[in-house]
Amino acid sequence: EGSLCLWQLNATGSPLELLRQVPLSEEKLRGLAASPNGRWLAVCDGEGPIRLLETEHLNEPHTLPGHEGGALSAAWHPGKPVLLTGGKDGHLRGWHTGEGFRPLLALPAHEAGIYAVAFSADGTRLATAARDKTAKVWDAGTLDPLARLDRAAGGHTHSVNALLWLGDTLVTCSDDKRIVAWK
């Protein structure tokens, strides 16, 4: 339904309490990322611009130009004022988020929509997962590709939908119903 919901976590076993529901889009929301300082939420609906909400009031002070076809995923750098988004167009887009939001880059990264973007905890590497059945690892400073994780490398045979870093290990999951850990 295109709404962002804010829930109150209660004691273990207690039901969650819905604190606030913020309608944002006519489309389904596809991506959500919080800035490291907790001030901003980046929200992607796969159709329009990226919405940036201040967490204190959940108002909508900024929108960033979307990808061709819309943004699907977002990630904030853990130590720098940088937001990256992945789009249906297979591109990574980046913004400097220090004072205002300035465009930094647009990089063709995949042959299809980018479903997930994640920085390593130390901020030195970036991983992307896409509908093109691949995950990729990038140098976060230069955006040089470091690895292409595909079927030939023992990877997935269908869309790679999500990923996360566990220390130096990258974990991916896919429509092929498998979870793969990459060292």
For the whole prediction, is pTM greater than 0.85?
yes
- Give the mean pLDDT of 29-41: 95
Residue-wise pLDDT for 75-94, tens only, equals: 999 999 999 999 999 999 99
With contact defined as beta carbons under 8 Å apart, do 135 and 123 qualify?
no
The DSSP-derived string for 10-47 is -STTSPPEEEEEEE--SSPP-EEEE-TTSSEEEEE-SS
How would residue 12 be classed by pLDDT, with cut points 50, 70 and 90?
Answer: confident
Worst-scoring range by mean pLDDT, 92-101, 112-121, 144-153? 92-101
pLDDT value for 44: 95
Distance CA 112, CA 109 (A): 9
- What is the sign, positive or negative, of the torsion defined by CA atoms of 39, 42, 43, 47? positive
Residue with the two structure tokens 């004691």: 11
pLDDT value for 14: 80
Residue-wise pLDDT for 120-153, tens only, equals: 999 999 999 999 999 999 999 999 999 999 999 9
Q: Is 44 helix (H, G, I), strand (E, B) or coil?
A: strand
From residue 94, alpha-carbon distances to 75, 80, 82, 105, 174 in Å are 10, 12, 7, 5, 25
Residue-wise pLDDT for 49-60, tens only, equals: 999 999 988 887
Q: What are the chain's domains?
A: 121-183 (2.40.10)
Worst-scoring range by mean pLDDT, 23-27, 30-34, 63-67, 76-80? 63-67
Size (the chain), residues = 183
pLDDT value for 105: 94
pLDDT value for 169: 98
- Give the mean pLDDT of 163-180: 97
pLDDT value for 121: 98
pLDDT value for 62: 85
